[in-house]
Chain A
Amino acid sequence: MAEKEKKPKETKRVSRREFLGTSLKAGAGIAAASVASKFLRSDKYSPHSIFASGEKKIEYTPKAGLAPGMIGGPTGFEGAERYQYSADEAPGRAVDALRKLKAEGKAPDKLVIMLPPGAVGHWEKPYPEDAPLAKDVFFEETGIEVVLADVVETEQTTKLIQDYQTGARAYDTYSYWSDETQDLAAAGALLNLDEFVDKYKPDWLDPVWGNVGGDVATTSTSKYLGSVYNVVMDGDYQLWVYRKDLFEDPKEKREFKSRYGWDLQWPETWEQLDQISRFFHRPDKGLLGCTDIRNQYWGFSNWFQRYTSFDNPNQYYWDDDMNPLINSDAGIQATEEHVKSLEWHHKDAISWGWPEQYANMTAGGAAITCAYPNMPKFLDNPANPDSKVVGKLRSGVSPGRVIDGVLVRRSVWWPSIGHGVAANGKYPEAAYLLLQWASSGKVSTWLTANPAGYYDPWKIPHFKDPIVIGSYKDWHINTYVESIKRGSPPIIIPGVTEYRNVLDTNLQQALSGQKTSRQAMKDCADEWNQITDRRGRDKQIKAIRATRPAWPTVVDRPTI
């Protein structure tokens, strides 16, 4: 075949008559084939497929390799049973319903899902090696092909709004940052999923298979005005990682204690974190104190953590009447700390993004950093030849503040990939069922364990799965779970993009010395008020009140 391809192409002049004749024959052939395919059974499907016994009949023969009582799931690799499901479980219900819809002609042959390029691997790469592809398993069980339409993360919102506005209906499900759910729902682009949730009962709140943080986390990431619009598919929590080798070095411990009067250990408060960061900041020796990022668009996630821990149980962004709370002592101090921390960052900190931060930590260039949960997966990995920190990392829950004797520590989730059903999609029910299947405890565990994509764990079973634990490191799992429980939401009301960008711009102006922290918070609050008035204060008040259940209540007793 290869030899054949190498042969130089013969050039032959084709007359107009010959060309037309050939075209007609080819056209007739294609037409005949397309008509015939409607009547002929395709051999493409395996014998256990729902098509094996005819398109209209729903006589499903369980495929080989399934554990007793299971109706679907991946097969063919060690431990596959962990991800298989019965008809009584959420993914089983989704598959069953899709088969029925398909038989009734209410489900399509293809579902087009928008997703970021970094998530394509979860569907298109096998893991473990001998496992089937996730999209093939779905096709085999439902007869519906999953078409993956990747759209770069920063363009997702624009693309989906264009799709909705132009009526192109190019996608059945959209993907976006979960904190934009409310904006997109209010814009009418996302479908209200309450009816389907009631009908098909996903396992998002199940105590065994559900989301860590239960109803609070689900409300935080997925609801708008009390209704579900988003199916969260990612656990982007900002987690703190530090150099264990430095923290446990006897010389460092001695010196630290003599300077600050307390034992060097993972800190509980921001003040303690700043002391440790300052202590380790030795740029002349290639070591930075702390590299939680400060750049435009991403850096404000670290401000959120400092700010939201200012009150027990939470320091909100607005009060119940949509009056900004950031133009306060809490907001000003959080900003001052945010700016002051540049002292122990890299001097290019304002323009440092994730690539610089990850590369620096790979080289052991910082004592502490705050990043996505996947940092240990990549860096504490003997298979990573560039990593100089294999076996040298540990993680800790976000520091906080002691308020009236109680330790308030607030992590933040941001941004987390979410999927929603396109409001004007052609097959909304089938699209929802695909999301229920993919987000179910069992299937999502299998998807998340796959290192070919960047979905991070967020559900209870993820943190018990041996593949996920192996990948994310057992020492990191507890920090991860505890951080989710203390995870405060970012801004999640309609107008999030505008509010967030105003905050980001003002923080950047404070960081670059264009404004004082006080001025930045005042300006931000003023602009937030303008946005609120423009969007309708009453509507926004309703929205902010509906987000209150999304805030965590977990607090601790200080021990240091």
Chain B
Amino acid sequence: MLKKEIKLGESGAKESVRFGFFLVLPALVMLLFIVIFPLLASIYLSLSEWSPMTGGGTRWYQAYQFWGWLSNYWNILKDTEFLIALLRTFIIVTVVVPVEFFIGLGLAFLFRDNFPGKKIFHSIILMPMMIVPAVAGFIFYMLFQGQGPVNAVLSGIFFKEVSILWLQHKVTAIIAIMIADIWQWSPFMFLILLSGLMSLPEDQINAAIILGATRWQRFRMVLFPLMKPVIVIALIFRGMEAVKIFDAIWLMTTGGPGTATESISVYMYKHGFKYLKWSWVAAGGVLILILMTLISMQALKPIKEQEEKEA
């Protein structure tokens, strides 16, 4: 009797699983088309040497006629333009993300306490993030013109005519792009860090205050350890977004002068949509995907370790 009840229970669980499966089936099918199919198509194309311009009229699904195995991967890894674009992107990310982090953190601490006009300033600070990136790029393109407002302000500060050709020199162009990115995305860091800060348990902070901890000690020994998961998530999110930097570069320099400000996204766009080298770009995309997955896994390690410790 008991056995029978158990059996019934098992079949009920099976039914429940089946029912659950049917419930998620539409989502799975959607996922298949949205994620899996394009990914498989990209991998398939990346293994060929086909492009719409050299395929002699063949379609993308006939790319097997131009099968090249790993030749695209091999060639793209030898392409200095690709490697430099990748390196340049990581330089941009390693500069802008920490700067955005510290600006965001500073502002978050500032906004933790109440002060007059807090709500208005809060909205003002978030405003850059709400501007369409292409528009922001155009604004900075105008600001950094040789006879633009940035040089005018610098001239006012230094009491002599400053005429830096920001967008025409490889170093200043990158700096201008970084400034645009920092201006637009520091609010994102601020938003995440502020919400993390506001959700911290007050009792631990109050205990530290009662025990006579200084502000720095409170930050270093209480707030920072508690904030760590939020900080890691903020850095990963922003880092992953920053790797995709495109709009500001495209609007301000289109990757120039020459290729001096070409990020990996700009490189991919040019090769995909301008040169129409689809299999080449597919290989590049797969490589970037692998690279980003490895970096993200590495970045998420501290959180996983902490979770394991807590468990």
Contacts and interface: CB of A to CB of B under 8 A. Distances in A.
Contact of A187 (B55, B168, B277): B55
Q: Which of B54, B147, B163, B253 has the most CB of A within 10 A?
A: B54
A381 to B, nearest CB: 27
Given A183-B53, A350-B256, A423-B57, A497 B275 contact: yes
A514 B53 contact: no
Interface in B204-231: none
B220 to A, nearest CB: 45
Interface string A503-543: 00110110111110000000000000000001100000000
A296 interface: yes
Given A348-B147, A351-B168, A501-B275, A494 B53 contact: yes
A514 B257 contact: yes
A296 B273 contact: no
A184 B57 CA distance: 9
A187 B52 contact: yes
Given A158-B276, A348-B147, A514 B168 contact: no
A514 B146 contact: no
Interface in B245-289: 253-260, 270, 273-277
Interface size class on chain B is 20 to 34
Contacts of B170: 512, 514
Nearest to A160: B52
Interface stretch (A16-24, A161-169, A211-219, A224-232): A161-169
A260 interface: no
A512 B57 contact: no
Contacts of B277: 498
Contacts of B60: 165
Interface string A447-468: 0000000000000000000000
Nearest to B52: A161
Interface string A168-183: 0000000000000001
B146 A296 contact: no
A308 B56 CA distance: 30
Q: Which of A350, A509, A513, A535 has the most CB of B within 10 A?
A: A350
Contacts of A501: 270, 274-275
A512 B147 contact: no
Interface in A459-502: 494-495, 497-498, 501
Given A347-B165, A351-B167, A514 B258 contact: yes
Interface string A84-116: 000000000000000000000000000000000
A494 B253 CA distance: 28
Contacts of B146: 346-348
Interface in B34-78: 52-60
A426 to B, nearest CB: 17
Nearest to A157: B276
Given A501-B270, A501-B275, A512-B168, A188 B258 contact: no
A497 B168 contact: no
B259 A509 contact: yes
B57 A188 contact: yes
Contacts of B275: 497-498, 501
Contact of B257 (A158, A183, A512): A512
A450 to B, nearest CB: 31
A542 to B, nearest CB: 14
A183 B163 CA distance: 42
B33 to A, nearest CB: 16
Nearest to B262: A505
A363 interface: no
Contacts of A497: 53, 274-276
A512 B169 contact: yes
Contacts of B59: 165, 167
A406 interface: no
Contacts of A535: 54
A296 B57 contact: no
Interface in A326-383: 346-348, 350-351
Contact of B273 (A158, A423, A498): A158
A186 B257 contact: no
Nearest to B277: A498
A297 interface: yes
Contact of B258 (A351, A494, A508): A508
Nearest to B168: A350
A160 to B, nearest CB: 10
A191 to B, nearest CB: 11
B257 A511 contact: yes
A509 B257 CA distance: 6
Contacts of A346: 146
B200 to A, nearest CB: 47
A258 to B, nearest CB: 32
A165 B53 contact: no
A505 B259 contact: yes
Contacts of A350: 165, 167-168, 256-257
Nearest to A155: B273
A347 B276 CA distance: 34
A304 B169 CA distance: 24
Interface in B157-190: 163, 165, 167-170
Nearest to A180: B53
Contacts of A423: 57
A511 B165 CA distance: 13
B165 A164 contact: no
B222 to A, nearest CB: 50
A343 B155 CA distance: 23
Contacts of A189: 52, 57
A512 B276 contact: no
B53 A187 contact: yes
B167 A509 contact: no
Nearest to B252: A351
B274 A188 contact: no
Interface in A404-435: 423
Contact of B56 (A165, A188, A515): A188
Nearest to A496: B53
Nearest to B163: A347
A475 to B, nearest CB: 33
Contact of A161 (B58, B168, B257, B276): B276
Contacts of A164: 52
Interface pairs A-B: 8 shortest CB-CB? A188-B57, A512-B257, A509-B258, A348-B146, A508-B258, A350-B168, A187-B53, A161-B52
Given A158-B276, A348-B147, A350-B257, 15 more contacts: A158-B273, A161-B53, A161-B276, A165-B52, A186-B53, A187-B54, A296-B256, A296-B257, A346-B146, A347-B146, A497-B53, A505-B259, A509-B258, A512-B260, A534-B54
27 contacts: A158-B273, A164-B52, A165-B59, A167-B59, A183-B53, A187-B53, A187-B54, A187-B56, A188-B58, A296-B254, A296-B256, A347-B146, A348-B146, A351-B253, A423-B57, A497-B274, A497-B276, A506-B258, A508-B256, A508-B258, A509-B260, A511-B257, A512-B170, A512-B256, A514-B170, A514-B257, A535-B54
